[in-house]
Structure 1
Amino acid sequence: GPGGPPNGPPTIPPGGGPLTPPLKVTPIAPGSVQRAPPRVLPTPPALWTFAELKGEAVDPTRIRLAWQGREGATHYRVYRDDAFVTEVAAGSPLSFVDETRTPGQSAAYFVEALQQPSGPTRVGPVTPAPGSAGALKNTVVPQLGPVVLERSQKKTGITPSLEAPRDLSVTLTDAKKRIVRIAWSLPKWVTGVELLRDGAALVRTTSAAATFIDDAPPMAGTHVYAVRTLYTAGPAKNIFRSGDSPSLSLRTSPFRMVAIGDSIMWGQGLADSAKFTTLTRDGIRAALNVEVELTSFAHSGAILRGNTGALPAIGQQESLGFDQNALVTPGEIPNSFPTIFHQLNVQGAGPAVKRNEVDLVLVDGCINDVGVMSILNPQSTSSAVRSAAQTKCAPMATVLTRIHALYPAARIVVTGYYPIVSQLSDLAALPVLVASAVGTAALATPLLGIPPDPIAAIGVIAAAIGGTSALRTKLSESSDAFYSASSAALTNAAATASTQAGVPSMATFAPLPYEPKNAYAAPSSWLWLVPTGAVANDQDDVITARTASCHQAGVLDRSVGRPVIPGAVAPSNLDMLKCERASMGHPNHAGAQAYATAIAKAIQPNMATWRERFATVRRAP
């Protein structure tokens, strides 16, 4: 074309003119010789010769060998690890498949090229042995065997190992029915899978399945899942297995709660749905999205321990001279027995509780050891109440230590009490409370000036009180003394038990955010009033059922520390009155909610651990 190719030799434009592009001339020094650079030719590919044995894995149980023919060879012999395997005629395909291998197995192969002579070998005349007769003659000697012409290089063949399935995941698709979905990704070589649960084969498949639904895991809390690859090969259908995949554990049993204690823990006067133990259960269920199982042994009137002697072994009763199991009554009926320690050590150690799966224990106790009658008795002193609380609440540390021994995985929350009466309590309501809880005799003091039968004459009480606050002051002082001393003792018990167990925060005291306005008959009271029916909303949720139970039982615990064997002693009028009105001074709906809030705050640091423990989806890293 015009001007020549872009990189071609210079051309002369039509009509003359300079070269396009300009010709470059490199001058040569006189006497020098200009030589062209040497031409480098590509290296031809190496020829495949007999010496170069080729081998490759066909699958996890087969190695294929191939080789080039050797001139003059009549047949070939194949060796594996220096042992003869087979022979291949020269006219056949020069290859061999070793089908005796196992996954991940190696072997060294080589092939010999041999030549078999076509006939017998003739040799020259043989000289007879000395002294023998006979003429000289030619002798025919049979060929002894083929001649090895060449041996190939050794070739190592390795079958691929079976890989375990990858990306294992387990999902609790239905917590209530405990249905688990297991899924995984399949590797290259697979004809089936083997799913393991807790180290034992759960199912074997003959197809390359990648999911399985476990709809019947045992009731035990946590299960471990893993999966293996299966590979079937050979005429005998031998089954080979990979190693296990990384295992995943999944908690399939519910979150387990145990409650032990007195009437506060029981929820005196409250419907089951309104008790703070139930509210706590429901809150955990919502926060963790798991089923929560609550087992409560608490009941009204329970004392902390029956004696201060040596602790019995787990499952054994305290040495009190009677069978506490025979004293079990409906939870609403005040009864010192079974003790809180018995609730734990005997009832809580029985088959009703899966001890190693308990996640949370709620416990209270010691107000009945001190005595509500002492706190609400105007003739008691605040110093005496304080001293009793310090002494009677201290054994909680022993109870907490036993809780840890029984339920080693559990977090323990100790709930406290509250000042029953404050300076904001309604003056007119207090004499009725004292008469119902302690008896009218407690009011017979010139200081108070209250009639001997305030329950029958509530209006007279209010008039008799006039403007005095003497009763309220006395009860408020005793209430504050019990509240502060018991809170300190229970806080110390939780810390002591945690230190002794070597588990920080094993037990935590959950203080109630209580204010004077929340006291009995105060403006924002968290407590039930005496259910006389004389004041609006003084009836608790279960008063009808409780009254029936009181009369059906026919006998009540009349004094702290002294059991009443059923049928032995008839109840007094005060015993029956205290039973019927047992909800007085106990948390109402607002109070139960306050307890639930305090417990939620106490267990908040443990929520991350529980979320991990009860994760509904687990995936292999």
Structure 2
Amino acid sequence: MKDFSRRQFLKHIGAAAGLLLTSRGVLSLPAFSDDSQPFEMLVVGDSMISAQGLKEENKFYYLVKEWLQQEVFGTSRQVNLKVKSHSGSRIYLHEDEIEEYRKVGDDVNKFHHPEINLSFPSIRAQMDSARKEYENPETVNLILLSGGITDVLVANTVNPFLNEKKMRELIHKYCNEAMREMLEHAAKTFPNAVIGVIGYFPIVSTKSNVNQLSRYLFKVVKFPHPLQWTFTNGMSKQFMKILRKNMAMRSRIWVSESNRELNEAIAKVNAKFDKPKVIFVETPITEENCYGTKNTLLWETDKDNFPNDERYQERKIECPKALSEIKFHHYGKLSERLCELAAIGHPNIEGSKAYAEAIKNKLKPVFDGQNKEEKL
């Protein structure tokens, strides 16, 4: 790495990272391999890491890649990016889904347009696909991934009518047990990679605008736009406020429990290695800027009740094309509609920037730790 770049790192790391390195020691940090080779970066997972609704140059994994290339390595090392993530991907396909796809002859290993919310290829299948494309899996330096919410089901993370015990069981099953198995597979498949697990955010809070929540529901069920007043009048608003409060409580449980379970899974995997291989990136999005808030960092619907993301028009074309090729539709007749609306509630441009900063802040101590280790 160039001396100038190294000085830039030290300037921006700050006292907090210094204390971390002092307390844990350099040898307790993961490390990247020899920088005489290109830096290989792999992205796998669901719509979270895929950054649904954003153009490529605005996706947070791309912002991280550009930061690595321009500020970390400069001309001294080429950064190569491989992306396998896509909307809707599960950690692994559930047995009932596999059976349905098998019955109709759908190919669960076929990749479609990444904006199409399909459960396949699974995240594990994405890794295996990437592995085949690398001449040597040991050259992979960094993996960024997210997973679990599509297994739990997004609706269940805010559904106040779902039994809370059942919700917690689902979070444990997928964000802990399934994630641990997947991380172990990733660590074995790409033995030199540092793995960054991206945390999920609160979808709804008591700060969320009631009308904005209502409009999204209208869009999903195709409720006639002129009749929206039936859900935004005084009496209905009171009901929606109660619903919002209960949804916010479930959203809070989702974030705290998924964070806890993901961290536990990560700790179990790291315990198997001399150095930690997996780091957790907590969401920068809070209840103050989640869906429907004044300064939201998530995509919403515009004044005409259409998704306000960068790729809505693209999905209107690609969703029917992809879904026409697939015989089993997980969401039935709503599949195409939900596909078109899929970006709503995902990080917008500013939200993506916030996630990129959070990832960079987690990676800076790793690079600095390697620099110090090289000097020993």
Same fold (TM over 0.5): yes
Pair member with larger Rg: 1
| Identity rate, percent | 26
What residue number does 1:351 align with?
133
Q: CA deviation at 1:514?
A: 3.0
1:581 pairs with one of 327, 341, 346 = 341
Shift of 1:379: 2.8
Paired residue type of 2:348? N
The match for 2:276 among 489, 505, 519 is: 505
Partner of 1:465: 236
1:325 deviates by 5.0
- CA separation in 1, counterparts of 2:322 and 2:106? 18
Q: Secondary structure at the match of 1:331?
A: coil
1:293 aligned partner = 80
Q: Is the 8 A contact 1:532 1:539 kept in 2?
A: no
Q: Which amino acid aligns with 2:189?
A: L
Is 1:474 the equivalent of 2:240?
no
Aligned partners of 1:493, 1:436: CA distance in 2, in Å? Answer: 37
Look up the match of 2:203.
420
1:385 aligned residue (161, 167, 173)? 167
Report whether the alignment pairs 1:590 with 2:359. no
Hey, what's the Cα distance between the residues in 2 that align with 1:456 and 1:503?
62
User: TM-score, structure 1 length as denominator?
Assistant: 0.50
Q: Which residue of 1 is the match for residue 45 of structure 2?
A: 261
TM-score (norm 2): 0.80
CA deviation vs aligned residue, 1:226-275 (integer Å, no higher than 9, x gap)? xxxxxxxxxxxxxxxxxxxxxxxx74432111011000111100000000
> Quick one: distance in 1 between partners of 2:144 and 2:135?
14
1:368–1:455: structure 2 CA closer, same or farther, 3 Å change rule? farther
- Deviation per residue, 1:7-45 (Å, 9 max, x gap): xxxxxxxxxxxxxxxxxxxxxxxxxxxxxxxxxxxxxxx
- How far residue 589 of structure 1 moved from its aligned partner, in angstroms, is 0.9
Does the 8 Å CA contact 1:531/1:583 hold for their aligned counterparts?
no
CA deviation vs aligned residue, 1:418-464 (integer Å, no higher than 9, x gap): 11000100011112334555x58xxxxxxxxxxxx376633332115
Could you tell me how far apart the structure 2 residues matched to 1:554 and 1:302 are?
15
- In structure 1, list runs of 5 or more residues that go unmatched: 1-170, 172-220, 223-249, 309-316, 441-452, 556-564
2 CA distance for matches of 1:347 and 1:275? 22
1:303 aligns with 2:90: yes
Q: What is aligned with 1:548?
A: 317
State the distance in 2 between where 1:327 and 1:554 align.
13
For 1:505, the aligned partner's letter is: P
CA–CA distance in 2 between the matches of 1:381 and 1:456?
35
Alignment partner, residue 119 of structure 2: 336
- Give the gaps of 5 or more residues in structure 2: 3-31
Structure 1 residue 520 and structure 2 residue 291: aligned? yes
Displacement of 1:378 after TM fit? 4.5
State the distance in 2 between where 1:380 and 1:267 align: 27
What is the count of residue pairs matched by the alignment?
336
Does 1:284 find its partner at 2:284?
Answer: no
**1:597 partner letter:** E
Q: CA deviation at 1:567?
A: 4.1
Q: 1:612 to 1:359 in 2, by over 3 A?
A: farther
Q: Which one has the bigger strand percentage?
A: 1
Residue 495 of structure 1 corresponds to which residue in structure 2? 267
CA distance in 2, matches of 1:430, 1:474: 13
Cα deviation, residue 481, structure 1: 1.3
Q: Tell me by how many angstroms 1:331 deviates.
A: 0.3
Structure 2 counterpart of 1:606: 366
In the alignment, is the contact (CA less than 8 A) between 2:204 and 2:290 conserved in 1? yes
Q: Which residue of 2 aligns with 1:213?
A: none
